[in-house]
Every structure is written in C-alpha cells, then in structure tokens.
Amino acid sequence: MNTEAIDGRMLFAIPKKGRLHEKCIELLAGADIQFRRHNRLDVCLVMNHPIALVFLPAADIPSFVGEGNVDIGITGHDVILEAKMEGRVTEMQRLGFGKCALQVQVPEIGPIKSVEDLAGKRVVTSFEVLAGEYFDRLDDRLQITGENKTKIEYVGGSVEAACALGLADGIVDLVESGDTMRAAGLHAIATLIQSEAVLIKSTVPKNPKIVPLIDLIASRIAGVVAAGKFVICSYNVSRDKLHAALIITPGRRAPTISPLEEENWVAVNSMVEKNKMAAIMDELVKVGAEDILIFKLDNCRV
C-alpha cells in the first residue's frame, strides 16, 4: 500500500502476532473499527473511520508511536519499559488482557535459591535492558564489581531452555500461566514488573487535527473493556434496607435509584464486577433485596 493511501489518516499500530494479537482484533470489533486485512499485507484501511491499521511486532510498537509517525497503538507495558519509551509515549488505559509478570527464574532443583545467589553469574533474557538495570542495582548493593558482575546475555527466543542447555544459571522471562516455566523445571525467585496490554499514544501529538479521533477511539475501547469487566445488577429493596444494599453495590461511580409504586420500595441498578457477581447477589439476599437480576453488557461508555 502506498503512502498516499494512508496520508492524513490516523495510524493505529496493532501487534501482528503473539499473545496480544487475537484480543486486539476482538477489541477493534467491539469498538466498531471495520477493516479487511489482505493476506501478507501489514497495513490496511479502516472502512468507517479515517484510520490506517499498521500490524507490527509488539516490541516495536512503542518506538513507532514514540519516535515515528504512528499515532496510537496497543502493546505490553513491559516492552514500553524495555524500549525506554516511557517518556515519549503516554499510557491512555490498561486493557485488562495479556497480564503477565517479568520474573527471574532458576532451576527448581539446584543451588540457587535467591537473586543474591544468582548475582555474579550468567543470566539469559530477551529483556536485556530491564534485566541489566535490575542486576546492576543488585550488584551495586552486594558490592560486586568488574569481571565478577552479573553477565546478561540476549536470546531472542526459547529463553526457558537456556539453563537446561548450559547457557545460563538463571533467566529473566515473562510468565503468564507458568506452565512453560514449570515444564522447563524452573521456578520464579523474584519479580521485576507486572505487565498487561495498554493503549498508548505519542506524548507529543503528530497531528493536532486527529486528536478528537484519538479521544473517540480511546472512549470506545474503554467502553469495550468496561463491558467485559462489569455487569448490571438490578434489584428491588425497601428504603430502610437501602443503605446496607448500596454498601454492597456502590456502582462504578454511583448506582441508579428509582422509586417504585409500592410505598417505601425502590429499584436499584448498579454496575458490579463480573467476577464478583455471585457473591454480591448472595450478600444482597442477606440484607433483604428481592428480584435480583444480572444483565450482561455488550458495550457501554464509561
């Protein structure tokens, strides 16, 4: 696709593959960003907005947003720090998926039980910036200097195999479920950062004319994220028990309370977290609420 086709459009970077890609595609559909991506093309035009989607490796997206012409993007919080782009990009919102931890891992059966034991030895990682900063601080604290300092080596993939294959004494790698770590006979001894997918924009807007569109897309995405996290809890309760019920369902900002024709009774609608809805319904029953219903959200604006 030539540059004339995307000229004047907002550029939106999406991970082209990996752990974030499928969730990002679902997020775009929920935000009504309509596109058709042709095979082997990493740029496509959105049909209902002046937007061009650019599919890039997640690790490259912070640099393209912070230093290139890309306006917004979705990537991991971890790669923003690894790319040293936290001063050039702004995290607009966390998206609630792709959650993981960057952890120091060592063989479960072995002499190394703490990061202090690992200091001065060999560490393999694909996060050499974050790992280097972490072990530099550790070496300084332990007064390890010169050739005895911890050695950080970069490996682009299969980091978890480095210890078993004799390349490292420990590794620094992302952990999601922990299955890969355990299968490799490793266990975590320290956590560097917690990470998840984030929506980012350039700290300095490239084109002030598209700022309203950036805000619109961010609002839509926030609505999709909230719809996945919350449900509507609706119930009836007498006014003398209302205070106790509202403590259980304070709402995302505040509940909606409407009077009923039956004297001294009100209807309450409140957003509650989806993963807590069963417990919330049980608590409402205990305080005397009746006709408790849960409604799923397809989309919303928050």
pLDDT category at 180 given cuts 50, 70, 90 is confident
Task: Say yes or no: 91 and 105 in one domain.
Answer: no
- Whether 128 maps to a domain, the answer reads yes
Task: Say yes or no: 145 and 78 in one domain.
Answer: no
Task: Say yes or no: 162 and 108 in one domain.
Answer: yes
Residue 137 has pLDDT above 60, yes or no: yes
Residue 39 has pLDDT above 80, yes or no: no
- Whether 166 maps to a domain, the answer reads yes
Q: What is the mean pLDDT of residues 71-86?
A: 95
Task: Say yes or no: 131 and 75 in one domain.
Answer: no
Domain holding 72: CATH number? Answer: 3.40.190.10
Please, are residues 76 and 195 in contact by the beta-carbon 8 Å criterion? yes
How many angstroms separate the CA atoms of 71 and 67, rounded?
Answer: 10
Domain coverage including residue 115: 100-194
How many angstroms separate the CA atoms of 141 and 90, rounded?
Answer: 32
DSSP category for residue 146: G
- Whether 107 maps to a domain, the answer reads yes
pLDDT tens digits, 202-258:
999 888 899 999 999 999 999 999 999 999 999 999 999 999 999 999 998 899 999
| pLDDT cut 90: percent of the chain above it | 85
Task: Say yes or no: 110 and 156 in one domain.
Answer: yes
- Whether 22 maps to a domain, the answer reads yes
Domain total in the chain: 3
Task: Say yes or no: 104 and 79 in one domain.
Answer: no
